[in-house]
Amino acid sequence: MAWPDILEYATKLAPFAAMIMTGGITLLILRLRQVFATKSDLAAHAARVEELRREHETWVRLHDSEHRELSERLSRGEARFQRVEDRIDALPTRKDLEELTRSVAGMAAAMAAVQAELTGLGGSVTWVKDSLGTLLEHELAEARDAGKGGRG
């Protein structure tokens, strides 16, 4: 076959080839249409995204207020713990309590010694009281006798 015959044959087949290619391209476009999103799909997706954004903002506000509340509670708890630590730091140590025990024991011994001295002095005071009473009685008796003898 010569070139002029091939060209004549190709010109006769060209409309059929164009129709086949147009049909193939149409099928390809219809198939791709199922893969790509339509405007209504995009609008529905945009609406869902906006709804999720609003939900997220609401959650963030709620979370922020709860976070603030928790932070305040933690701060108050920290302050309470600090006060407890300060009170614990102010408590006497074992060494302090041992010194206090020794000091109290020394005072108890000193008080026992004072008690013994007071008990001893109690006897002396009783003797002085009895002696003073006897002397007073004797002086009063002499004064009465002297008063009777001077009158009579």
**Tens digits of residue pLDDT in 23-62:** 999 998 888 877 777 888 889 999 999 999 999 999 998 8
Q: Give the integer Cα–Cα distance in Å for 104 and 110.
A: 10
Domain count, the chain: 2
Element (H, E) at 148: helix 94-151
Q: Give the integer Cα–Cα distance in Å for 140 and 147.
A: 10
**Tens digits of residue pLDDT in 77-90:** 999 999 999 999 88
Judgement on whether residues 71 and 84 belong to the same structural domain of the protein: yes
Is 108 a member of any domain? Answer: no
* pLDDT at site 149: 66
Residue 2's domain comprises 1-36
Higher pLDDT, 85 or 10: 85
pLDDT at 75 over 70: yes
Reported pTM? 0.35
